[in-house]
Amino acid sequence: MKTIQILEDDDTIRMDDWCRPLELRPMSPQSDFYSFESAYGGTPENNVQWVRVYKIFGQCWYNKTIKEIYKEGTMRPYEFARGDIPAAHRLK
C-alpha cells in the first residue's frame, strides 16, 4: 500500500506535485461520447491519470494555494496530490 496526500484549498502546490482534471469533456457540445485516446495519433485525451504539476501549470503558480489558483475563475477543476503515485496511475 502507498500513501499519498490529497491537497486541499489551503495547501500550496509545488512543481513536483501531481494533478489530474476532475472534469471530462465530450467530443463536442452535442455529444455524450467521451474519448480517452486520440483516434488519429493515439495520444491521451480527457486524461484521468496523474501528471506532474510542472507539465500543466506554469512557474507563476508554484507555491500558490489551490484557492489562489481557482480565484482566477478560468481554469477547469483539478485534483492535486503529493507523494509516490503508482506508475500504473501516471500519464505516460
Q: Which own/partner contact pairs does 69-73 have at CB distance under 8 Å and 24+ positions apart?
A: 69/13, 70/9
Domain boundaries, the chain: 1-92
Residue 1 has pLDDT above 90, yes or no: no
**Banded pLDDT at 49 (limits 50, 70, 90):** confident
**Banded pLDDT at 63 (limits 50, 70, 90):** very high
Residue 43 has pLDDT above 60, yes or no: no
Q: Is residue 5 helix, strand or coil?
A: strand
User: What is d(CA 38, CA 54) in angstroms, rounded to the nearest whole number?
Assistant: 23
Average pLDDT of the chain? 85
